[in-house]
């Protein structure tokens, strides 16, 4: 009897190993065949794993990403160059605990050639080695951590979105030049992105001669009442507030900022996610006058964006967000790369992505890859009401910005 | 002192607003746990259900009709939900806390998933009813009118619950059941009915608190676990099954969440559980928890 459990466990291990190998085989076979297909000049195909959150707090972002992706494909015959695109969608969930296995799943059991998506930066950093080992391309369509294309850079990981500090440092420079040098209060949730946003802002603001008079980091996802922090802002003597929140926290913060009377005396500035997408209608009048920096707003006046907004709204019944554009551009750059590429392995696509040059037909305006992440225009935006609807109108073009070192 | 109070008046007031809201939420949890030994982890989901009701009926720019309607529907729904929860936990009455916790946790997960299915996963904001949606000037600082009103309503509700539990026959029955369930049963009272009634009223208070808290917290997935943790902390600090304990615990937590965070922003995320740890070390049964009447 005593031997039985050991025996069973060992047998289980053997079985699990066999099952794992079996799961791997079709994957290997699939990518082998698609590479061969590309080379032989027959029906060329590329399989893409779109890994975006379909559950959890980021599900809203996942929906926008998926729509942007599908809209590009629908408008371009479902092809990148001559390659017919097959998309496999997987649920990233909220954390790396769900996101990393989702990426491994599309790589191994679905045998995809390219992975697109990832909202959570920790997930994007967590799959770095898996991506490098499989020599497949990952296009990060949201996650904004600087390290993804900085310290932890891999030749196989490219980004079509933004870096956290890229957006906030543009605001830092702007506020230092706008008469707020004497004092700005900075507030962002206590996690990696919040820290990067504040660091980027502070560095650029202080470089412009500004002084940060106070800083707060409310616990992420556990703070529902910002009154204590708002009192801190009031007593700090700040002339303006710089903030970064998203989702439910953005709604609560902006509404309470107005309720406690701060909006009248201390103007609110922020990283664009504060007022982007679905949070804006919920913030209602409290958001009026809030100014933010971002690489996109649906109000941009260029032909590519006008067409994008029109087709997007017609198909989905709401305006696009920056997230939709990021996924749209991920498809856009893959198309450009595969027009010239002769195979769909990671090294070939990576080399081709390096040569795509300026992406001049993006709804966000022209941008280029610089160190595998966008160098792009950052816009200063103000929330106004036009035609009964709140929008982020463009105040100023703050020029092309790189990922800060 | 006056200078200090003037500087922190808003925080102190806010502590009372949050405190009374927490009391309305936590008193049901405390009574059910103290009386029937049922740890109801679905309590937070009830709160969130109320919040979503408020968000969908009252919406961003609430009218009085929408707001009061939401309160009424939430109260009825809460009573019904409490009855159902009481029925569900009945077969587990002689099992361990863990079994009950698993059951109610499962209910909480199912309910929060259903709420996403029904109301979507976008976070929703809830407006205060007209007349209460502005701010008033208090010693030069603006304070939202709705929160002032919430302090008044919360104080009234706290008084009502206190009077019922402390001064009426029904209240005496409830307290007796908390003190010694078997003895009350021996006197010929069907304590399943007492449990169902307390469960129903406690759940009603939780859903009502959800509607009342809407203009402050909004409605979003995940809010249920946030408020459940706060309510559990209140119950532990105040002591199981004690209305007075729940009130004092809630007011303390309100001040810690508000004034404490304003004065010690760097310790904001630590201070709540620091207070909890302190109480557990000094008074393991909570501030007003009676020593166990029945040896276990």
pLDDT band at residue B38 under the 50/70/90 scheme: confident
B159 part of a folded domain: yes
Residues of A in Cβ contact (< 8 Å) with B124: 282
**Predicted confidence (pLDDT) per residue in B77-115, tens digit:** 999 999 999 899 888 877 888 888 899 999 999 998 899
**Residue A74 reports pLDDT greater than 80:** yes
**Residue A38 reports pLDDT greater than 70:** no
**Predicted confidence (pLDDT) per residue in A309-350, tens digit:** 999 999 999 999 999 999 999 999 999 999 988 889 999 999
Number of alpha carbons in the 13 Å side-chain half-sphere of residue B87? 6
- Contacts of residue A40, Cβ cutoff 8 Å, sequence gap at least 6: none
Please name which of A293, A308, A311, A275 lies closest in space to residue A379, comparing C-alpha atoms.
Answer: A293
Range in A35-49, A164-178, B238-252, B281-295 with the lowest mean pLDDT:
A35-49
User: B154 — phi, psi (to 5°)?
Assistant: -60, -45
Label residue B171 exposed, middle or buried (CB < 10 Å: 0-12, 13-18, 19+).
Answer: middle
Range in A127-131, A213-217, B111-115, B116-120 with the lowest mean pLDDT:
B116-120
* Cβ count within 10 A of residue A28: 11
- N-terminal to C-terminal alpha carbon distance within chain A: 63
Quick one: what percent of chain A has pLDDT higher than 90?
70
DSSP string, A263-327: HHHS-EEEEGGGG-TTHHHHHGGGGTT-EEEES--TT--SHHHHHHHHHHHHHHSS---HHHHHH
Find tokens 């943790």 and name the residue.
Answer: B229
**Residue A20 reports pLDDT greater than 50:** no
Find tokens 């939780």 and name the residue.
Answer: B206
**Residue A7 reports pLDDT greater than 60:** no
- Domains of chain A in start order, with CATH, are 30-162+303-371 (3.40.50.2300), 165-294+379-401 (3.40.50.2300)
**Predicted confidence (pLDDT) per residue in B215-253, tens digit:** 888 888 888 988 999 999 999 888 887 888 899 999 999
Q: Which pLDDT score, from 0 to 100, does residue B143 have?
A: 87
Task: DSSP letter for B267, please.
Answer: G
pLDDT band at residue A89 under the 50/70/90 scheme: very high
Å from A110 to nearest chain B CA?
Answer: 28
Residues of B in Cβ contact (< 8 Å) with A59: 121
Name the pairing type of β-strands A83-91 and A45-52. Answer: parallel
Q: Which pLDDT score, from 0 to 100, does residue B62 have?
A: 65
Q: Which pLDDT score, from 0 to 100, does residue B290 have?
A: 63
8 Å CB contact of B143 and A260 = yes
B288 part of a folded domain: no
Is the Cβ of A274 closer than 8 Å to some Cβ of chain B?
A: no
Please give the Cα distance from A312 to A318 (Å, whole number): 7
Per-residue pLDDT, averaged over A79-92, amounts to: 94
Q: Which pLDDT score, from 0 to 100, does residue B44 have?
A: 93
Instruction: Give this prediction's pTM.
Output: 0.81
How many structural domains comprise chain B? 1
Label residue A86 exposed, middle or buried (CB < 10 Å: 0-12, 13-18, 19+).
Answer: middle
Å from B255 to nearest chain A CA?
Answer: 10
Name the pairing type of β-strands A157-159 and A114-117. Answer: unpaired
B295 part of a folded domain: no
The residue of chain A with its CA nearest to that of B216 is: A225
**Residue A3 reports pLDDT greater than 90:** no
Q: Number of helices (H) and strands (E), helices first, in chain A?
A: 14, 14
SS3 state at A95: coil
Q: Which pLDDT score, from 0 to 100, does residue B222 have?
A: 84
- Residue B270 sits in which domain range? 2-282
8 Å CB contact of B60 and A259 = no
Q: Which pLDDT score, from 0 to 100, does residue A143 have?
A: 93
User: B124 — phi, psi (to 5°)?
Assistant: -115, 145
8 Å CB contact of B11 and A231 = yes
- Contacts of residue B280, Cβ cutoff 8 Å, sequence gap at least 6: B236
* Of B31 and A229, the one with more pLDDT: A229
Mutation site, B115, B140, B261, interface A, largest A CB count within 10 A: B261
Six token digits for residue A119? 């909202």
Q: Which pLDDT score, from 0 to 100, does residue B269 have?
A: 66
Q: Which pLDDT score, from 0 to 100, does residue B61 have?
A: 66
Q: Do the Cβ atoms of B30 and B242 come closer than 8 Å?
A: yes
Q: What is the CA radius of gyration of chain B?
A: 19
Six token digits for residue A397? 């073009």
**Predicted confidence (pLDDT) per residue in A281-314, tens digit:** 889 889 999 999 999 999 999 999 999 999 999 9
Taking every pair of C-alpha atoms in chain B, what is the biggest distance, in angstroms? 61
- N-terminal to C-terminal alpha carbon distance within chain B: 48
Please name which of A320, A271, A275 lies closest in space to residue A294, comparing C-alpha atoms.
Answer: A271
Is the Cβ of A104 closer than 8 Å to some Cβ of chain B?
A: no
Closest Cβ–Cβ partner in A228, A251, A252 for B262? A228
pLDDT band at residue A59 under the 50/70/90 scheme: confident
Residues A40-57: b if buried by 16+ CB within 10 A, e if exposed: eeeebbbbbbbbbbbbbb
Å from B186 to nearest chain A CA?
Answer: 46
pLDDT band at residue B291 under the 50/70/90 scheme: low
Measured CA to CA in angstroms, residue A128 lies from A30, A140, A154, B149 at distances of: 22, 11, 7, 53
Question: Which helix (DSSP H) or strand (DSSP E) does residue A37 occupy?
Answer: helix A3-40
Is the Cβ of A389 closer than 8 Å to some Cβ of chain B?
A: no
**Predicted confidence (pLDDT) per residue in B157-187, tens digit:** 889 988 998 899 988 888 888 788 888 889 8
Question: Where does chain B have alpha helices with state H?
Answer: 2-36, 43-57, 64-89, 97-119, 145-167, 169-179, 181-186, 191-217, 223-238, 243-255, 261-263, 268-282
Range ranked top by mean pLDDT from A17-31, A150-164, B183-197: A150-164
Q: How many CB pairs under 8 A join A and B?
A: 98
Q: Which pLDDT score, from 0 to 100, does residue B279 have?
A: 87
Per-residue pLDDT, averaged over B147-165, amounts to: 90
Q: Which pLDDT score, from 0 to 100, does residue A126 have?
A: 93
**Residue A17 reports pLDDT greater than 70:** no
Please give the Cα distance from A175 to A204 (Å, whole number): 9
Residues of B in Cβ contact (< 8 Å) with A266: none
Residue B209 sits in a domain whose CATH number is 1.10.3470
Please give the Cα distance from A313 to A304 (Å, whole number): 14
B136 part of a folded domain: yes
User: A158 — phi, psi (to 5°)?
Assistant: -120, 165
Residues of B in Cβ contact (< 8 Å) with A227: 10-11, 14, 258, 262
Label residue B274 exposed, middle or buried (CB < 10 Å: 0-12, 13-18, 19+).
Answer: middle
* Cβ count within 10 A of residue B41: 22
Question: Where does A41-113 have alpha helices with state H?
Answer: 59-75, 96-108
Could you give the angle at the alpha carbon of A229 between the alpha carbons of A226 and A234, nearest 5°?
120
8 Å CB contact of A284 and B217 = no
* Of A52 and B136, the one with more pLDDT: A52
- Contacts of residue B41, Cβ cutoff 8 Å, sequence gap at least 6: B101, B104, B105, B107, B108, B228
Please give the Cα distance from A32 to A236 (Å, whole number): 62
User: A342 — phi, psi (to 5°)?
Assistant: -105, -5
Question: Where does A127-268 have alpha helices with state H?
Answer: 128-134, 164-176, 192-207, 227-235, 247-259, 262-265
Å from B225 to nearest chain A CA?
Answer: 10
Q: Which pLDDT score, from 0 to 100, does residue A249 have?
A: 87
* Cβ count within 10 A of residue B244: 15
Taking every pair of C-alpha atoms in chain A, what is the biggest distance, in angstroms? 81
**Residue A155 reports pLDDT greater than 80:** yes
Please give the Cα distance from B63 to B244 (Å, whole number): 34
The residue of chain B with its CA nearest to that of A233 is: B262
The residue of chain B with its CA nearest to that of A254 is: B125
Q: How many residues does chain B have?
A: 296
Question: Which helix (DSSP H) or strand (DSSP E) does residue A184 occupy?
Answer: strand A184-187
Find tokens 């504040």 and name the residue.
Answer: A198
Quick one: what percent of chain A has pLDDT higher than 70?
90
* Of B278 and A70, the one with more pLDDT: A70
* Cβ count within 10 A of residue A81: 16
Q: What residues does B124 pair with on adjacent strands?
A: B219
User: B166 — phi, psi (to 5°)?
Assistant: -95, -25
Whole-number average pLDDT of chain B: 86
Q: Which pLDDT score, from 0 to 100, does residue B283 have?
A: 84
B44 part of a folded domain: yes
Six token digits for residue A121? 């930066």
B289 part of a folded domain: no
Q: Do the Cβ atoms of A161 and A326 come closer than 8 Å?
A: yes
8 Å CB contact of A260 and B260 = no
**Residue A60 reports pLDDT greater than 90:** no
B287 part of a folded domain: no
B296 part of a folded domain: no
């Amino acid at each position: 009897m005593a031997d039985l459990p050991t025996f069973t466990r060992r047998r289980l291990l053997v079985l699990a190993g066999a099952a794992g190998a079996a799961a791997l085989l079709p994957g290997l076979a699939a990518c082998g065949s698609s590479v061969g297909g590309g080379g032989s000049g027959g029906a060329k195909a590329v399989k893409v794993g779109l890994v975006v959150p379909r559950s959890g707090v980021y599900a809203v972002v996942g929906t926008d990403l998926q729509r942007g992706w599908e809209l590009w494909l629908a408008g371009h015959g479902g092809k990148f160059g001559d390659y017919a695109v097959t998309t496999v969608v997987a649920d990233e969930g909220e954390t790396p605990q769900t996101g990393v296995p989702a990426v491994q799943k599309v790589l191994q059991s679905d045998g995809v050639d390219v992975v697109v998506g990832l909202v959570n930066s920790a997930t994007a950093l967590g799959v770095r080695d898996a991506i490098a080992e499989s020599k497949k391309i990952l296009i990060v369509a949201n996650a904004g951590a600087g390290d993804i294309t900085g310290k932890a850079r891999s030749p196989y990981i490219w980004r079509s979105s933004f870096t956290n500090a890229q957006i906030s440092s543009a605001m830092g420079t702007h506020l230092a030049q706008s008469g707020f040098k004497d004092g700005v209060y900075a507030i962002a949730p206590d996690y990696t992105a919040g820290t990067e946003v504040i660091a980027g802002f502070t560095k650029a603001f202080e470089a412009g001669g500004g002084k940060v008079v106070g800083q707060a980091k409310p616990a992420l996802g556990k703070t529902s009442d910002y009154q204590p922090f708002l009192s801190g802002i009031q007593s700090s003597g700040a002339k303006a507030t710089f903030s970064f929140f998203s989702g439910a926290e953005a709604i609560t913060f902006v509404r309470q900022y107005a309720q406690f009377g701060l909006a009248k005396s201390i103007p609110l500035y922020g990283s664009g996610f504060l007022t982007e997408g679905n949070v804006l209608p919920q913030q209602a009048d409290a958001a009026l006058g809030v100014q933010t920096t971002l690489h996109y707003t649906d109000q941009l006046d260029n032909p590519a964006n006008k067409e994008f907004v029109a087709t997007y709204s017609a198909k989905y019944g709401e305006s696009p967000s920056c997230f939709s554009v990021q996924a749209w551009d991920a498809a856009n750059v893959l198309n450009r790369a595969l027009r010239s590429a002769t195979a769909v392995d990671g090294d070939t696509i990576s080399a081709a992505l390096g040569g795509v040059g300026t992406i001049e037909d993006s709804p966000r305006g022209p941008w280029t890859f610089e160190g595998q992440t966008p160098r792009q225009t950052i816009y200063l935006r103000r929330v106004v009401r036009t035609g009964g609807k709140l929008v982020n109108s463009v105040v100023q073009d703050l020029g092309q910005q790189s990922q800060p070192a | 002192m006056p200078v200090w109070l003037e500087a922190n008046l808003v925080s102190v007031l806010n502590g009372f607003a949050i405190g009374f809201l927490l009391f309305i939420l936590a008193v049901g949890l405390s009574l059910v746990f103290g009386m029937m030994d049922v740890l109801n982890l679905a309590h937070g989901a009830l709160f969130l259900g109320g919040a979503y009701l408020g968000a969908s009926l009252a919406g961003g720019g609430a009218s009085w009709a929408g707001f009061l309607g939401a309160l009424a529907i939430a109260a009825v729904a809460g009573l019904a939900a409490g009855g159902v929860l009481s029925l569900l936990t009945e077969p587990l009455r002689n099992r361990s806390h863990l079994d009950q916790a698993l059951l109610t946790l499962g209910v909480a997960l199912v309910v929060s998933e259903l709420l996403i299915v029904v109301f979507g996963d976008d976070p929703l904001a809830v407006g205060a009813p007209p007349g209460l949606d502005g701010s008033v000037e208090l010693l030069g600082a603006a304070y939202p009118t709705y929160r002032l009103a919430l302090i008044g309503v919360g104080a009234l509700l706290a008084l009502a619950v206190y009077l019922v539990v402390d001064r009426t026959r029904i209240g005496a029955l409830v307290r007796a059941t908390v003190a010694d369930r078997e003895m009350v049963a021996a006197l010929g009272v069907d304590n399943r009915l007492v449990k169902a009634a307390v469960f129903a009223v406690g759940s009603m208070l939780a859903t009502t608190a959800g509607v009342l808290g809407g203009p402050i917290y909004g409605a979003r997935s995940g809010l249920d676990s946030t408020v459940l943790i706060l309510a559990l902390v209140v119950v532990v600090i105040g002591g199981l099954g004690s209305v007075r304990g729940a009130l004092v615990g809630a007011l303390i937590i309100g001040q810690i969440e508000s004034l404490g965070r304003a004065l010690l922003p760097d310790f904001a995320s630590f201070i709540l559980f620091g207070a909890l740890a302190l109480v557990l070390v000094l008074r393991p049964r909570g501030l007003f928890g009676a020593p166990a009447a029945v040896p276990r």
